[in-house]
């Protein structure tokens, strides 16, 4: 474990004058480790998540990565986000993958040929997927600017603002399938938590067989242990869902009558609400009207509490629009609405109780890292992707929520946990939720980026 102190807020590795036990040498080592990962994954105008498993640009990865670059190369923060939004579709969606034409089409499955975005009206000239990911981009842009305010950053916010607004408008206008003010995801990949137990119930209704995957070559299991990745049956269902969405030209009208997977996700909608708060901040500094953004943030928060909070469990759950029911799994998704500043005190306290329970183990001094799924559940899997392992991006979001609501000691516990994980195992994609061992890709960009951000606190 790494001894803890509060480092300076500046971009360099020097410890603060009040530092007592986190050594300058250890902090410098971690800073340089993270810098090396980001520099190594930089690709002319964006950062790949990793050089092995993820050789293209991913949407919410770029948002988190932009936060890290603010501490090293603020120009790359704005290049990261600008390059992503250059691939924004005409309807406002920001695709979850932007394919690098210099990378072989077979380097990642499903590749650009599978998505066929070039056949869709309104898609950008570059090949992309047709799905989206949690809209954390305005949140990231605002956070990065506040970390390192500059004229360059202000100009970038002015350029990005209409694109961020269009992203939010797309989700509010085209994805409110339930009609209650929340956006629906049309695929588990859109949640960012691909194979979370939260999707087991709605996924079980998607007709598919594992044998479907014989027609494809998965690349993820070449670079990672298959026992740690989604199963072939999971992938068969993923393919089935994408195929259905692609067959409709990635249109969102009439989804309720034809699409096999429609879910309102707590994280996705919390990110949408928090991004409206961030857009209000951006609007103020660029001379736009922040009022509509604040109003939308309040409405999203109210809808999220009404639709996704379960008073019986005291936490938030996804709602399966096919059945109208909340999904039963208690996952880390339920903690993420803490990022909403207007979340009512009753829900804040309930979520804190959930987070501090044996299911997640939040404490001022963490014994184990924050898991992605209830570690007391019978289907908890400490090695398989989002079914148990700990991820720094989710930990960062929960920590941010704790700070928003004034729970600084608990936030400090998560900060220590994040630093200790990387100090012991390196900048891995994710970590064993009990031992802290590194899992997945070994030089993962958002891990490095968010490490830099917490080191700078």
d(CA 395, CA 457): 15
Report residue 2 CA to chain centroid gap: 26
> DSSP states of 201-214 as a string?
HHHHTS---GGGGG
Do the beta carbons of residue 94 and residue 123 sit within 8 Å?
no
Do the beta carbons of residue 177 and residue 256 sit within 8 Å?
yes
d(CA 43, CA 28): 25
d(CA 314, CA 139): 26
How many CB atoms sit inside 10 A of residue 111's CB? 18
What pairs with residue 326 in β-bridges? 319
What is the number of alpha carbons within 13 Å of residue 165 lying toward its C-beta?
17
Report residue 442 CA to chain centroid gap: 19
Tokens in use for 98? Answer: 């932007």
Which position has the token pair 């049956």? 233
Task: Please tell me which residue in 22, 61, 194, 220 is annotated as part of the active site.
Answer: 194
Collapsed DSSP state (helix, strand, coil) of residue 431: strand
Classify residue 99 as left (phi > 0), alpha (psi -120 to 50) or beta. beta
Classify residue 361 as left (phi > 0), alpha (psi -120 to 50) or beta. left
Which ranges constitute the DSSP H helices of 248-290? 255-258, 266-286
Task: Please tell me which residue in 80, 232, 429, 453 is annotated as part of the active site.
Answer: 429
CA distances from 256 to 128, 176, 262, 273, 303 (A): 24, 10, 8, 23, 19
- 3-class SS shares of the chain: helix, strand, coil, % to 5: 50, 5, 45
Nearest Cα to 187, choosing from 109, 248, 260, 271? 260
Is residue 194 flagged as an active site residue? yes
Collapsed DSSP state (helix, strand, coil) of residue 125: coil
Tokens in use for 71? Answer: 């501490």
Q: Can you list the positions of beta strands (E) in 220-342?
A: 263-264, 309-310, 315-316, 319-320, 325-326
d(CA 74, CA 370): 30
Residues with catalytic function: 194, 429
């Amino acid at each position: 474990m790494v001894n803890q102190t509060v480092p300076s807020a500046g971009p360099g590795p020097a410890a603060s004058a009040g530092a007592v036990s986190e050594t300058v040498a250890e902090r410098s080592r971690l800073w340089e480790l993270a810098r090396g990962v980001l520099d190594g994954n930089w690709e002319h105008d964006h950062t790949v998540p990793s050089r092995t498993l993820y050789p293209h640009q991913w949407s919410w990865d770029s948002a988190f990565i932009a936060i890290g670059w603010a501490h090293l190369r603020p120009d790359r923060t704005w290049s990261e986000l600008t390059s992503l939004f250059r691939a924004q579709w005409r309807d406002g969606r920001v695709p979850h993958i932007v394919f690098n034409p210099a990378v072989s089409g077979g380097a990642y499955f499903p590749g650009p040929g599978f998505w066929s975005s070039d056949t869709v009206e309104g898609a950008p000239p570059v090949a992309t997927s047709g799905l989206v990911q949690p809209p954390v981009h305005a949140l990231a842009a605002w956070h990065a600017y506040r970390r390192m305010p500059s004229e360059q950053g202000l100009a970038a916010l002015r350029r990005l603002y209409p694109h961020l607004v269009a992203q939010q408008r797309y989700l509010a206008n085209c994805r409110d399938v339930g009609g209650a003010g929340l956006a629906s995801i049309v695929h588990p990949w859109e949640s960012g938590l691909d194979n979370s137990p939260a999707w087991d119930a709605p996924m079980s209704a998607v007709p598919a067989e594992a044998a479907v995957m014989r027609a494809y070559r998965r690349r993820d299991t070449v670079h990672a242990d298959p026992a740690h990745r989604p199963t072939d049956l999971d992938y068969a269902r993923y393919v089935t869902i994408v195929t259905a969405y692609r067959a409709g030209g990635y249109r969102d009208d009439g989804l309720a009558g034809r699409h096999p997977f429609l879910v309102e996700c707590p994280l996705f909608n919390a990110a949408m609400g928090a991004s409206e708060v961030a857009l209000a901040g951006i609007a103020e500094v660029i001379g736009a009207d922040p009022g509509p953004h604040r109003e939308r943030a309040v409405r999203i928060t109210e809808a999220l509490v009404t639709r996704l909070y379960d008073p019986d469990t005291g936490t938030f759950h996804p709602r399966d629009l096919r059945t109208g029911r909340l999904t039963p799994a208690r996952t880390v998704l339920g903690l993420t609405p803490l990022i909403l500043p207007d979340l009512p005190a009753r829900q804040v306290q309930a979520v804190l109780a959930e987070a501090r329970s044996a299911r997640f183990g939040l404490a001022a001094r963490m014994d184990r890292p924050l898991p992605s799924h209830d570690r007391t559940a019978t289907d908890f899997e400490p090695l398989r992707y989002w079914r148990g392992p700990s991820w720094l991006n989710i930990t960062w979001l929960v920590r941010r929520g704790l700070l928003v609501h004034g729970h600084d000691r608990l936030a400090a516990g998560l900060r220590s946990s994040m630093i200790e994980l990387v100090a012991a195992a390196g900048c891995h994609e994710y970590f064993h939720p009990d031992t802290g061992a590194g899992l997945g890709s070994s030089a993962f960009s958002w891990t490095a980026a968010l490490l830099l951000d917490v080191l700078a606190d």
